[in-house]
């Protein structure tokens, strides 16, 4: 230990000792005083205001403040020795049983009724009762055998707010609290990076005060002010990064691609068999205006499943082709790339068949470039792209490989952008002499705060209308464990639809035996549930059982590309009645004759995923039906999530629900970069106003000082909060 003043860069081993520092580094990735000081409490407990034990979920790693109610010792049946059962409660009526194995008379004396303590462990269930097996614990007050040192420190907080930290089994919350206390005793906070006028205008407390009060709050009001200041720092760092990026992008040069009267776009509009919705028209005008400027478009096009985004994107591509350029559409899977290729060729007709006998005047070519193309087909396609004869190029990440060269890439359309890495999008963008225009599409509606935070550098357009002719989709939860007869009825309902000449999807969360792929979750569940159902296991069972006699196809990401394409073609042509698939059908797959989707183990999917999957049915004139099959118990959070999905087809409402249930870090992009991020307190759901205010201040500051040259401490703070790789993620977009 040292008495020297600690700064954010001081290694923890100089402050808390080598052994503890090693545990903090190994289990929590905390290496410096700054890492620890920015490791904020997850929540605060108070004696008298306790965590409701009744709200704990099985499988959750928890720390609870509770009082010992009674103890009991009984011999173990399976092995020698005794079992100590300690029942603790929180005053709300909820109780937990803490179990300790072996002869531990000292522990029984220590854990006597009436004592308050912090108990940490994983919640399990035995015979309907919630338990903590062998939990770590620290008792509050009155000393305590073996825990005296920890008690002294925790007791300081016992009458006030007790911080509960994100912890690990080997480093419980009270060890972290003790280390924080040691660091704070000698900690010299950094100079406040926030400009004084912003602090004054927004009534924000100083950074030193905020960092102390968040760990050792003197009052609830002081804690609120500390959290507000530190949330502001996080929001401001992200917004400054985004606003700077937008400011730089506005100065980039790009080739203007103005509309050409009497060109391909006009010819396409004239042959469309239906009228564009008013939303498609207005968004199309926004995009057309962007394309006509000498700066690159950066626009996010979001819209409900089936709102007609592809037609809007195709019209933008045709405008670029009319102006002498090429357009590339990047799809997340070969199935979707091939589907786009077929769909766009159908929409364009003779306009997309340049060089063929029935081609229209001024027609272009539409090429598909994927990793599974044969050598001869690949050479031909690449020549068409390189020489500029292919105005529209569709593909997967294979478009990014060396050897795919464009004559004049003017527009990049990215479908379902959240499925692409930064480097992939950047590599495609680098294939143009000047930065191309970029249109990002997503069918996952994005809540306003997420759009403002994650896509804050993009202009946003929204399609909320559905085209005429789209049918309603009814959704129902099928509780397979409680009511097996309901599942039998689901299969009969599917057969009824096939009997009417329609088709159906059955979706499973896993492929089957073999290496785990991106489209399947981990096999084992933390709570010991059975592995998720798999396509390769379910399909034969259905063929022999409830769907016997129907024409069943199988589709998943591990199939060879030609097989995937053959299966999709057969399903689209009506040669298959049922497609048993993974989430490979989640986006873009368009078979209007499909009217039923049965999602097995639906609780294993996210809210937005389920909404996307559901959008595969009801795409024609017949009504759609989506059945969400689950074994989740009534009243569980998983079941409530499915009930919410079944209750509405409003994607924006579901996006807000999804945001509530997801880890904020995922939304903010910490996992996008693969590195630990310092964005910990900000809630996109609860802090909308704060994010909006931070954005307003960021715009004003960047307009005055674009590179933050006059605010070096702020620039450094932004770099620390938005780590280098995350900043690169934002920079490349």
Note the pLDDT tens digit of each residue in 188-197: 998 899 999 9
Whether 66 and 53 have beta carbons less than 8 Å apart is answered as yes
For residues 622 and 624, give the distance between their C-alpha atoms in angstroms, rounded to a whole number: 7
Greater model confidence, 52 or 380: 380
**Residue 683 in tokens:** 């809630």
Domains (range + CATH), the chain:
43-164 (2.40.50.140), 279-463 (3.40.50.300), 473-648 (3.40.50.300)
Instruction: Give the Cβ contact number of residue 405 at 10 Å.
Output: 12
Tallying the residues shown for the chain, one arrives at 733
Q: With bands split at pLDDT 50, 70 and 90, how would you rate the model's confidence at 267?
A: very high
Q: At residue 536, does pLDDT exceed 70?
A: yes
Over the stretch 277-293, which tens digit does the pLDDT of each residue have? 899 999 999 999 999 99
pLDDT confidence bin for 424, thresholds 50/70/90: low
- Do 409 and 427 meet the contact criterion of CB atoms below 8 Å apart? no
Q: How far apart are CA 615 and CA 597, in angstroms?
A: 9
d(CA 677, CA 729): 12
- Model confidence pLDDT, tens digit, residues 325-335: 999 998 888 87
What is the predicted pLDDT for the residue at 419? 46
Q: Is residue 83 pLDDT above 90, yes or no?
A: no
Whether residue 258 contacts residue 292, with contact meaning beta carbons closer than 8 Å, is answered with yes
What's the CA gap between 218 and 92, in Å, rounded?
26
**What would you report as the CA-atom Rg of the chain, rounded to the nearest whole angstrom?**
30
The alpha-helical segments, DSSP class H, found in 548-673 are: 561-572, 607-614, 637-647, 651-661, 664-668, 670-673
Q: What is the mean pLDDT of the chain?
A: 83
User: What's the DSSP call for residue 194?
Assistant: S
Helix 724-732 × helix 422-429 angle, to 10°:
40
Q: Which of 82, 565, 145, 596 is nearest to 341 (CA)?
A: 565
Range among 369-373, 546-550, 556-560, 635-639 with highest mean pLDDT value: 546-550
Q: How confident is the model at residue 257 (pLDDT cuts 50, 70, 90)?
A: very high
| 679 vs 549 pLDDT, higher one | 549
pLDDT tens-place string over residues 435-494: 889 898 887 666 666 666 666 667 888 887 766 666 778 999 999 988 899 999 999 999
The DSSP letter of residue 510 is B
User: Of the candidates 469, 541, 470, which has an alpha carbon nearest to the alpha carbon of residue 506?
Assistant: 541
Q: How far apart are CA 232 and CA 220, in angstroms?
A: 18
Asked if residues 272 and 281 have their Cβ atoms less than 8 Å apart, the reply is: no
> Which is it for strands 594-599 and 95-101: parallel, antiparallel or unpaired?
unpaired
Residue 167 pLDDT more than 90? no
Which is more confident, 174 or 194? 194
Rounded to whole angstroms, the Cα distance separating 292 from 273 reads: 27
pLDDT of residue 93: 74
Cα maximum dimension of the chain: 94
Estimate to the nearest angstrom the gap between the alpha carbon of 607 and the chain centroid: 11
Predicted confidence at residue 571, as pLDDT, reads 94
């Amino acid at each position: 230990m040292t008495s020297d003043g600690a700064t954010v860069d001081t290694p923890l081993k100089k402050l808390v000792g080598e052994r503890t520092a090693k545990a903090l580094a190994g289990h929590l990735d905390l290496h410096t005083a700054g890492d620890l000081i920015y490791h904020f409490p997850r929540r605060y407990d108070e004696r008298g205001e306790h965590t409701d034990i009744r709200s704990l979920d099985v499988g959750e790693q928890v720390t609870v403040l509770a009082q010992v109610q009674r103890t009991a010792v009984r011999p173990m049946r399976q092995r020698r020795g005794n079992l100590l059962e300690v029942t603790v409660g929180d005053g709300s009526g909820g109780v937990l049983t803490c179990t300790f194995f072996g002869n531990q008379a000292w522990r029984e004396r220590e854990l006597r009724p009436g004592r308050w303590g912090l108990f940490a462990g994983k919640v399990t269930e035995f015979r309907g009762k919630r338990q903590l097996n062998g939990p770590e614990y620290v008792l509050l007050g009155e000393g305590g055998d073996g825990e005296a040192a920890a008690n002294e420190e925790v007791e300081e907080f016992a009458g006030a707010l007790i911080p509960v930290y994100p912890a690990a089994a080997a480093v419980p919350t009270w060890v972290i609290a003790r280390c924080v206390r040691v660091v704070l005793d000698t900690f010299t906070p950094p100079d406040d990076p926030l400009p004084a006028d912003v602090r004054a205008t927004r009534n924000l407390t100083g950074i030193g005060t905020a960092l102390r009060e968040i760990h050792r709050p003197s009052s609830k009001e002081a804690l609120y002010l500390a959290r507000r200041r530190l949330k502001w720092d996080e929001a401001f760092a992200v917004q400054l990064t985004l606003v700077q990026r937008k400011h730089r992008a506005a100065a980039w040069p790009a080739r203007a691609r103005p509309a050409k009267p009497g060109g391909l776009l006009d010819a396409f509009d004239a042959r469309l068999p239906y009228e564009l919705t008013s939303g498609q028209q207005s968004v199309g005008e926004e995009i057309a205006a962007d394309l006509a400027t000498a700066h690159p478009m950066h626009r996010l096009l979001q819209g409900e499943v089936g709102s007609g985004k592809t037609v809007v994107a195709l019209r933008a591509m045709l405008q670029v082709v009319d102006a002498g350029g090429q357009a590339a559409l990047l799809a997340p899977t070969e199935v979707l790339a091939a589907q786009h290729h077929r769909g766009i060729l159908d929409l364009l007709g003779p306009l997309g068949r340049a060089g063929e006998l029935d081609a229209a005047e001024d027609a272009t070519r539409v090429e598909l470039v994927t990793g599974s193309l044969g050598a001869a087909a690949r050479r031909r396609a690449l020549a068409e792209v390189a020489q500029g004869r292919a105005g529209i190029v569709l593909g997967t990440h294979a478009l990014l490989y060396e050897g795919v060269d464009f004559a004049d890439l003017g527009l990049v359309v990215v479908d379902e952008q959240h499925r692409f890495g930064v480097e992939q999008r950047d590599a495609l963008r680098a294939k143009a002499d000047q930065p191309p225009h970029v249109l990002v599409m997503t069918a996952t509606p994005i809540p306003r705060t997420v759009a403002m935070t994650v896509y804050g550098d993009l202009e946003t357009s929204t399609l909320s209308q559905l085209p005429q002719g789209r049918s309603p989709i009814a959704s129902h939860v099928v509780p397979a464990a409680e009511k097996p007869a309901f599942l039998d009825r689901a299969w009969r309902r599917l057969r009824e639809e096939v009997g009417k000449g329609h088709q159906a999807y059955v979706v499973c969360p896993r492929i089957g035996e073999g290496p785990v792929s991106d489209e399947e979750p981990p096999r084992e569940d933390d709570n010991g549930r059975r592995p998720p159902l798999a396509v390769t296991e379910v399909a034969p069972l259905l063929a022999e059982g409830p769907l016997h006699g129907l024409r069943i196809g199988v589709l998943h990401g591990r199939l060879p590309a030609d097989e995937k394409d053959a299966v999709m073609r057969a399903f689209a042509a009506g040669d298959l009645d049922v497609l048993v698939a993974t989430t490979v059908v989640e986006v873009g797959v368009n078979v209007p004759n499909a009217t039923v989707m049965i999602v097995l183990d639906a609780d294993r999917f996210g809210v937005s995923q389920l909404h996307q999957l559901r959008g595969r049915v009801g795409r024609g004139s017949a009504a759609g039906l989506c059945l969400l099959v689950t074994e989740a118990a009534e009243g569980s959070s998983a079941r409530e999530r499915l009930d919410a999905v079944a209750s509405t087809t409003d994607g924006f409402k579901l996006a807000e629900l999804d945001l509530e249930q997801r880890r904020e870090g995922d939304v903010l992009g910490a996992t996008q970069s693969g590195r630990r991020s310092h964005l910990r307190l900000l809630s996109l759901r609860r802090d909308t106003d704060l994010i909006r205010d931070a954005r307003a201040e960021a715009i004003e500051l960047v307009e005055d000082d674009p590179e933050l040259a006059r605010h070096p401490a702020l620039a450094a703070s932004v770099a620390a909060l938005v780590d280098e790789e995350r900043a690169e993620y934002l920079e490349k977009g």
